[in-house]
Every structure is written in C-alpha cells, then in structure tokens.
Chains A and B, each alone.
Chain A
Amino acid sequence: MGEDRSYAGFIKWMAASLLAGVLLTVLFVVVVDPYRLFRLVDIAGFNAVKPRPDHYQSEIKLAGARALRPAVVLMGNSRVDVGIDPDSRQLGGAKRSAYNLAIPGTGVGTSREQFDRLRAAGAAPSTLLLGVDFFDFLLDPNSAEAPAKKPPAGLAGLRWKVDTVFSLNALLDAAKTLRIQNDPDAGTMTGRGFNPLFDYLRFARQDGYYSIFLQRAQENARNFSLAPHGIVRTRSDSSAEWRDLGGLLDAAAREKTETHLLIYPYHAQLMAMLEQTGLWPVFEQWKLRLLREVARLNAAHPEARVVLWDFSGYGALQCEAIPAKGDLVHGTRWYWESGHFKSALGERMLERVFGAAGAEPQPEGFGYRLDAANWNENRDRIARERRACLAAEPAMFRDAAAIVAAFQARHPNKPNGVSADIRTGALPY
C-alpha cells in the first residue's frame, strides 16, 4: 500500500512540475515576444531588438505586415530580405509605410500566397516591389510537373501559432532576444521585416570578404554546372513558377496595386559564371519571357501599372572589386557576396524605382526600365559594361572561370540538368 502511494505521489509530482514548466515557458515567450506577435512589452535593452527567426518566417512576417498594413510591400527571396530596407529614406521620406515580406529560399509561389493572404485580410498594398530570380525558373523542359504543394489547412494551418509560443525554438529565441540587445553582430529582424545581416559582419572581420565570395563562388560553380537549361516545360510551354507569377500579377492588377518587377543586380562574378556554364542565353530567354508576361498582363488589364526593371549588368556597382585573399581590413560597399547585395545598393535601387528628389546620382544604366522596344539597347548596354568591367577587374573573370573549370574537372560525368537545387536564395553561412 505504501509502495502504491509512492508511485501515485511520483505521478502527481511529475504532472504538477510538467504543468508548471509548460506555463512558465509560455509566459516567458509571450512576455519576451521574440517574433513581435504579442507586443505586450517593448522595452529598449530588454526585448526591443528581435532575433531573425529560423522557422515560420513567412507566417511571422505576414503577421507583422497584417499588423502594420503597409502601403509598400517588398517580396522576393533572401536577396530582397537582406538587400532592401523598408526603413529607407526613399520610402520613409515619402511617408509611405513599407514592409519587407521577402522569404529566403522561396520562389514566386510564396509571394503569390502571401499577396493572397494580405488581400484576404484587407491589407493589399498600393505598391508591390517583387524581386524575380532567374534561378527559380530553371527546370528540365522534359521533366514531369510536380504536384502543387497545398498550404496546411485546418488545425495544421494553426500549428505555427502553437510552435511560436511553445517550442524549443521559441524558447531559445526568447532567450536569444534577451542576450542580443547590445550585440552589434547579432542576426536580427527589424520591425518592418528587414534582415540587416549584422551577423555577416563578424564573418567578414574574421575570414575576410574574399572567403565569403569564394565560398559562394564554389557553390555557384556547382549549382550552375548542374543546373538544367530550360525555363518552361516543353509540353505546356509554362511552369508552376510562371503560373504563380502570372497569378500574382493578375491579383495585383485587380487590386490596382502598382507593381515593380526587379531583375536582381547580381555581382559581376556571378554573371561571369553564368557565361562560363552556358546559362547566359537562358538568362536572356528568361528576360524576354518576363517581357512577354508583362505584355500579357497589360493586354488583360489595361489599367494595370507594372514595370520591369533590369538591374542586372556589369556596371560600376555590380563590378565592385572583391578584396584580396587574407585582406581583413577592406570591406565592400555594395555586396555581401556575389548573390546578395547590401542595403546600400538596395537604397540605390529604390532611388531608381521611385526617383525621389534629392537622390544620389545613379551610374548610367543602373536599373534599366525594360520593354520590348529597348531590348537591343539594353543588351548593348550590358555588353558595354562588360568590356569596361573586364578591363577593370580581369582577375575576377579569370578566377570565376577557374572555379567553374575546377568543379567541372572534378565532376566530368555530371551533365547539366542533373538534379541540382539551383535556388541560391540561401545564405552560405
């Protein structure tokens, strides 16, 4: 009997301490609020600075956008996430509330879903800046269409709400929130969804920009060498990515949202690797197809306001010199590495798009408003820029070729189009 009592006592104590643990955890996460979901307490030095979430970023950012109901929304992948600051003078100066809804590692499908959810919440923006990434559209023309992934519905759709209050990630992020208040190198997310990538500053100090560029270049050499060389499926002359883009543009037009499509300003090293791996002609086909998509939209919605901006090229900004090996002193002004630009360059992009008064003078050709009529002119521009960049930075082109050649020598039997996940939206560290 006494033994039974000790087992019953054990169960009671276990249940009570478990319940207490659950309640304390939830209370701690709600008060510290690492994802800005509750906004009960906001004290500088305690929890004002928030960490960048690793999970449920789409849902967390969407909740932030819903709360702020911004006039301008920025969408895209990590290039926009770390590259365009919604607190920019260009947006703030014009008193236009903006939010960065870009999600690393995602394609247009995610942007479309987010726009639909904003619209459903009555928070459709008046202006949309959408970064479109060439690499998201690459596919094997003969491959079968993958079934569309349905977003979680019902209880599963609410799972993120539980996990952002009661999970190890939420608990650790709450603890991290307390720890990073005075850490200048912490990975954070601003109240407007921007990722300033402060954590890269530490890598840059320790390893130098040369190493960061080199690591990205090696990944690009692999990904580009293995990448398929198509942008549409032969059978349908389309793909899920194109359908998502069309659907998003249609939805934006119906909401009378002014839309700016941005072709990213890839660094010259990355552009050179596109050439080395035979992807350059595909890149041009892709731009033409984007033009076709804009033309289709204008025909379907004469009132639509959509502009295609080509920020790609080899201009003075994209041709920024890569610091030398072992150089831990000199940094870069415009790029983190060849795939990701800094917010300083993002600011230049916004100046180009919004053309605000007082903006710094733009280098000629940076941000080309592309249409069918000036297609050849734009090609000539890029060719001109390339000649100048090659003359200024011959080693950059040589190194890019060498890195691609080294990968292809190690993998001689891997033809293009073999199952590489080409999405370079993820950051290398």
Chain B
Amino acid sequence: MLFNSFSFILLFLPITALGYFALARHSQVLAAGWLAAASLFFYGWWSVEYIPLLLASIGFNYLAGRRIGHGDGPAKLRWLALAVTANLLLLCYFKYADFFISGVNAIGGTEWPLWHVVLPIGISFYTFTQIAFLVDTYQGKVKEYRFVHYLLFITYFPHLIAGPVLHHAEMMPQFERKESYRLSAANVAIGLSIFAIGLAKKVLIADNLSPHANFFFNQSDPQGLLVAWGGVLAYAFQLYFDFSGYSDMAIGISRIFGIRLPLNFDSPYKSVNIIEFWRRWHMTLSRFLRDYLYIPLGGGRRGNVRRYLNLMLTMLLGGLWHGAGWNFAVWGMLHGAYLMINHAWAALAARLRLPTGALSWRLAGVALTFAAVCFAWVFFRATDFSRAVTIVTAMCGNDGVELPESLAAHLHALRPVLDKLGVTFYVGGGTRFVQTWLWVLVGAAICFTMPNTRQIMRRYEPALDYRATQGGSPTLPSVPLAWLPNRRWAVVVSVLMLACLLSLGRPAEFLYFQF
C-alpha cells in the first residue's frame, strides 16, 4: 500500500488510528499489538509471501538480542558475530546473489545460471535496523525487551518499507510512554500538516518530474549539453522530492500516533560541501554507516591514509547497499573520492586561512557541491555504465549545444548570436525540452528558496532529533514560512491536500522502495 493512495489515506490510516486510540484506552499492550498487526497488514498488501521472512527475521534477532543482552564475556561476542553474519548473509542472498554469479561468470568465463532472486520489499531497511539493535545491545545501550514493542519497532508501518533507519534506543522509550497512547489534537494537526507537505512533494513535484527524467535516461540517442543537464537535473530534483516527501509523510503519519521519527533530509542541495551534504541527505542511513561501519573501521583515528581508506570503503558499501550493480559501486566510490578531496581541501583551506565562511565562498561551494552530486546521480540512475558515460560526456559539452528547432522561431535577435556560438537545432522534442526545464526550474526554486519541512514546522518539534540550529548556518536566504495552528494555515494545508488528492489518480511508487 502506498502512502500516496486513496486506500491508504481514506481507509487504512483512519481505521488504524481509530483502532489504536480506542484500544489504548484499555491497554497499551493491546494498542501496540494492534499497530504491529496493522503494520503487518500494510506490509502484506505489498507481498504476503514475504511476511514469514519478516517475522522470522524479527524472531531470530529478538532472541539473538536477548542472548547478547543477557550473556557475558566471549559468548556475548559470539552471539553478536553469529547474528550479524546471519543478517548479512540473508541480505546478500536476496540482494547480491545474481550480482555475485554474474561477476564470477564474467571473470572466470563460467556460465552459472542466475537465480533471479526477487528482493523482498524493505529488507535492506529492516535488516539494517536490526543490525543496529544487535550492536546497541552488545554495547549495553538496550534496556527494554518486551516482544510486542520490539515487533512494533521493526514493523512500524511509517518506516518499514523505506526508512528512516531507526535506533532501538530512540523508539522504545516512546512506545513505553503513556502520552503516545493518548489521542492529541496537537499531534493530529501537526502530523497531518507534515504529511500534506510530504504528499505534495511527492505527487505534485516528483511525479511531474518523473516522466522527463525517465524519458531522458531511457532514450539512446546522443544529446547536447542542455538536454543532458535538463534530464539529469530533472532526476536530481525528482529523487530529492520523492524521497524527502516519503520521509516527511512517514514523520507526519507517525506523529499522528504520538511517535516522533528522526529527521531524514535537511535541504541537502543547499550544502556548501560534500561532507555537509552527507549530514543532510538520507541522514539516518549516513548515521548508520558512520556508527556501524566507519567508526568500527577506525574512522579518522588512525591517520589520514587510513581515514581516507575508511571513507572510501564506507561509501562503496553505502553505494552497494542501494543495489547490486557496478553503477552503484561507481556512485559510492565517486562520493568516497569527493569526501577525500573535501577533507584534504578543508585542511588546506584552514592552513591557508581562506575565508571559506564568506557568502561568495559559500555560494560557490553550494554550486560546486550540487554539480558534483548531479554528476554522481548519473551513475546512480543510468541503465548501464556506457550510457552513464555518454551522459556525463554530454554534460561536459562534448556533444555540443543543441536546442529544439521549434524554439528557434521565438529566439528572434538571439538566433544569430547562438549560431555564432555554435548552437545547433534539432527537429522535434520541443515540448519535452520546454516542459523538462520548466519543471526543473520549479524544483530548483522550491529547493533553493523555500524553507524545508523542518524549518516550516520549527516551532513544534517536527522530528525526534530536532534542534533549532540544525543544518549549519543558512547558505541561502529562504522565504520565511512558519506553520501555526490557525485558520489561515488550515486553509493552506487543505488546499495542498486537495491538490494532492486530485493528483492521486495514478499513484506512483517511491523510488527508494527498490532498495
């Protein structure tokens, strides 16, 4: 079931919420059980056949967690190693079996048949969440072991399919708290408002960018600089609005139930450098990779060479987490390289005392970071490596600059100038070109000039780890919008909601469901 569907908005969500708060009057355990059962129903709507796998994974990790938590000495470590290995093997089987076989076939010249394993939806997210739980348990951070709460922690439908990746320690106290089981007008008003903003990001922006990005990445003909940048920017904004929209919807839905989820996006495209970008993009995955991969690898504690190696390895594995393919590996390694360069540059800039805090430096930093991120997105999205190289080549201007011929008539005095600059014109595709760039401009305007959901809702603690100062100093001025529970905002949210409901005719899946 999609968040952006009538069945979810008009049936599943109200029924689940009403049942939850009605049961909570009698028993918190019953209410938590109801929410877990509703979450399993939500998951089963996608794939009933993988519910046993999900339940087996939950049961195994719960028992392993108890063993780790109650064990001591080497047994504790053995249980941790066993459980983490089992989780990774499960993930590897479903996600990487065919990738591994085709790799062996390519290197060894063998012809092993592919297994064509179907990836159970959400497995990457619930496996990572449980690995974090196991490690936290080993480190003594887990205090609560009630099964119904653990079941709810993993299956909780707002985050089950595509995150945010949760920490046991940040959720369990909320499932314990009495206030979470009381229907609150504040939570409903705030939750619905955040949900409406997320839904608008998805159905009004991302879904309108999607046909243009898809058309560009699926076509095979060479393209000029403007067509290439138009297509790549359309994808960059589509991915941001799609995934951050999903995350906002998850946060909003959860808030209705009185549960706060952690923030997952904080205007990442406004980042002044790539280090900051990873603190603002898919923040809960970055947090996971930092806490459970980069730091255990040694982080930056063993010198610069080791730090760079750890960065590269973390980003490579982060790339491969998104999917079994060389494109994802290249994407991860590109970001690893970006981070290494960024760290080296930061050290040099500090030594030379460059004024990197000045507005002009920061603006240049935003532009450079955004361009670098867009280049990397090409490898993330392209159907194959050679196609990605073709696109990157076109983005660098190697295929020249082309405009649709239908625009030529509207250029008037500009036409001779463009001719002199070597701009050429191609037949057809004028509507596509114009619409792509119009939607890119809409996406860019919202991304770079509007406050994000966290900033709009800043007076009402929208997310779990909300801090007023989060996100560093503002890079660009944005429209001052602050949500208030008044009539004006009620009408604004209802208009937004109406526009979204009108656009739900053909609900499209979220991009991150494939990971």
> Interface residues, chain A, CB within 8 Å of chain B?
3-4, 6-15, 17-18, 21-22, 25, 55, 163, 166-169, 171, 203, 206-207, 211, 214-215, 218-219, 222, 410-411, 428-429
Which residues of the partner chain B approach A410 to less than 8 Å between Cβ atoms?
Answer: 221-222
Q: Do A211 and B427 touch (CB < 8 A)?
A: yes
Q: Do A167 and B491 touch (CB < 8 A)?
A: no
Check A14/B494 contact, CB under 8 A, given A8-B185, A211-B405, A218-B427. yes
Q: Do B192 and A21 touch (CB < 8 A)?
A: no
Q: Do B498 and A7 touch (CB < 8 A)?
A: no
Q: Do B490 and A25 touch (CB < 8 A)?
A: no
Q: Do A13 and B503 touch (CB < 8 A)?
A: no
Q: Which of B103-111, B117-125, B149-157, B481-489 lies on the face that meets chain A?
A: B481-489
A203 CA to B428 CA in the complex, in Å?
11
Interface residues of B in 394-434 (CB under 8 A from A): 405-406, 409, 427-428, 431
Give 15 CB contacts A-B under 8 Å: A9-B487, A10-B487, A10-B490, A11-B185, A11-B189, A13-B487, A14-B497, A17-B494, A17-B495, A21-B495, A169-B505, A207-B409, A211-B427, A222-B221, A428-B428
Query: Whole-angstrom distance from the CB of A295 to the nearest CB of chain B?
Result: 41
Q: Which residue of B lies closest to A328 (CB)?
A: B409
Check A18/B497 contact, CB under 8 A, given A3-B186, A7-B186, A10-B490. yes
Q: Which residue of B lies closest to A428 (CB)?
A: B428
Chain B interface extent, by class: 20 to 34
Interface of B is mostly: helix
Q: Do A218 and B495 touch (CB < 8 A)?
A: no
What per-residue 1/0 map shows which CB atoms of B87-125 lie under 8 Å from chain A? 000000000000000000000000000000000000000
Query: Whole-angstrom distance from the CB of B480 to the nearest CB of chain A?
Result: 20
A134 CA to B154 CA in the complex, in Å?
54
Query: Whole-angstrom distance from the CB of B436 to the nearest CB of chain A?
Result: 16
Q: Do B502 and A166 touch (CB < 8 A)?
A: yes
Which residues of the partner chain A approach B503 to less than 8 Å between Cβ atoms?
Answer: 167-168
Interface residues of B in 208-223 (CB under 8 A from A): 220-222
Query: Whole-angstrom distance from the CB of A221 to the nearest CB of chain B?
Result: 11
Interface residues of B in 456-515 (CB under 8 A from A): 485-487, 489-491, 493-495, 497-499, 501-505
Q: Is there a chain A Cβ closer than 8 Å to B188's Cβ?
A: yes
A70 CA to B417 CA in the complex, in Å?
58
A219 CA to B429 CA in the complex, in Å?
11
Contact of A10 among B486, B498, B502 (CB under 8 A): B486
Which residues of the partner chain A approach B493 to less than 8 Å between Cβ atoms?
Answer: 14
A429 CA to B502 CA in the complex, in Å?
26
Check A218/B428 contact, CB under 8 A, given A7-B189, A14-B494, A21-B498. yes
Which residues of the partner chain A approach B497 to less than 8 Å between Cβ atoms?
Answer: 14, 18
> Interface residues, chain B, CB within 8 Å of chain A?
184-186, 188-189, 192, 220-222, 405-406, 409, 427-428, 431, 485-487, 489-491, 493-495, 497-499, 501-505
Q: Which residue of B lies closest to A213 (CB)?
A: B427
Q: Which residue of A lies closest to B495 (CB)?
A: A21
Q: Do B189 and A207 touch (CB < 8 A)?
A: no
Q: Do B188 and A11 touch (CB < 8 A)?
A: yes
Contact of B498 among A9, A22, A411 (CB under 8 A): A22
Q: Do B485 and A6 touch (CB < 8 A)?
A: yes
State the total of A-B contacts with C-beta under 8 angstroms: 91
Which residues of the partner chain A approach B185 to less than 8 Å between Cβ atoms?
Answer: 4, 7-8, 10-11
Query: Whole-angstrom distance from the CB of B13 to the nearest CB of chain A?
Result: 14
Q: Do B505 and A163 touch (CB < 8 A)?
A: yes
Q: Which residue of B lies closest to A215 (CB)?
A: B428
Query: Whole-angstrom distance from the CB of A325 to the nearest CB of chain B?
Result: 10
Q: Do B427 and A13 touch (CB < 8 A)?
A: no
Q: Do A9 and B406 touch (CB < 8 A)?
A: no
Interface centre among A14, A21, A207, by most B CB within 10 Å?
A14
Which residues of the partner chain A approach B499 to less than 8 Å between Cβ atoms?
Answer: 168
A8 CA to B502 CA in the complex, in Å?
25
A248 CA to B486 CA in the complex, in Å?
61
Q: Do B487 and A22 touch (CB < 8 A)?
A: no
Q: Which residue of B lies closest to A18 (CB)?
A: B494
Which residues of the partner chain A approach B186 to less than 8 Å between Cβ atoms?
Answer: 3-4, 7
Which residues of the partner chain A approach B489 to less than 8 Å between Cβ atoms?
Answer: 10
Q: Do A7 and B427 touch (CB < 8 A)?
A: no
Q: Which residue of A lies closest to B410 (CB)?
A: A206
Query: Whole-angstrom distance from the CB of A383 to the nearest CB of chain B?
Result: 32
Interface centre among A12, A13, A163, by most B CB within 10 Å?
A13
Query: Whole-angstrom distance from the CB of B74 to the nearest CB of chain A?
Result: 54
Q: Which residue of B lies closest to A5 (CB)?
A: B185
A14-B189, A22-B501 known; 12 new pairs, CB 8 Å cut-off, are: A6-B485, A7-B186, A10-B489, A10-B490, A11-B490, A13-B491, A14-B192, A15-B494, A22-B498, A169-B505, A211-B406, A219-B428
Which residues of the partner chain B approach A167 to less than 8 Å between Cβ atoms?
Answer: 502-505
Query: Whole-angstrom distance from the CB of A422 to the nearest CB of chain B?
Result: 15
Interface centre among B222, B490, B491, B493, by most A CB within 10 Å?
B490
Which residues of the partner chain A approach B188 to less than 8 Å between Cβ atoms?
Answer: 7, 11
Check A206/B495 contact, CB under 8 A, given A11-B185, A429-B431. no
Q: Which residue of B lies closest to A159 (CB)?
A: B505
Query: Whole-angstrom distance from the CB of A329 to the nearest CB of chain B?
Result: 15
A86 CA to B184 CA in the complex, in Å?
61
Q: Do B405 and A168 touch (CB < 8 A)?
A: no
Which residues of the partner chain B approach A171 to less than 8 Å between Cβ atoms?
Answer: 502
Which residues of the partner chain A approach B431 to less than 8 Å between Cβ atoms?
Answer: 429
A203 CA to B486 CA in the complex, in Å?
49
Query: Whole-angstrom distance from the CB of B188 to the nearest CB of chain A?
Result: 6
Which residues of the partner chain B approach A25 to less than 8 Å between Cβ atoms?
Answer: 498, 502
A65 CA to B456 CA in the complex, in Å?
51
Which residues of the partner chain B approach A12 to less than 8 Å between Cβ atoms?
Answer: 490
Which residues of the partner chain B approach A7 to less than 8 Å between Cβ atoms?
Answer: 184-186, 188-189, 485
Q: Which residue of B lies closest to A155 (CB)?
A: B7
Contact of A215 among B189, B192, B427, B494 (CB under 8 A): B427
Q: Which residue of B lies closest to A3 (CB)?
A: B186
A55 CA to B502 CA in the complex, in Å?
14
A10 CA to B493 CA in the complex, in Å?
10
Which residues of the partner chain A approach B222 to less than 8 Å between Cβ atoms?
Answer: 410
A359 CA to B326 CA in the complex, in Å?
66
Query: Whole-angstrom distance from the CB of B389 to the nearest CB of chain A?
Result: 16
Q: Which residue of A lies closest to B185 (CB)?
A: A7
Check A214/B427 contact, CB under 8 A, given A4-B185, A168-B505. yes
A168 CA to B47 CA in the complex, in Å?
30
Which residues of the partner chain B approach A13 to less than 8 Å between Cβ atoms?
Answer: 487, 490-491, 494
Query: Whole-angstrom distance from the CB of A210 to the nearest CB of chain B?
Result: 9
Contact of A14 among B220, B221, B428, B490 (CB under 8 A): B490
Which residues of the partner chain B approach A8 to less than 8 Å between Cβ atoms?
Answer: 185
Q: Which residue of B lies closest to A219 (CB)?
A: B428
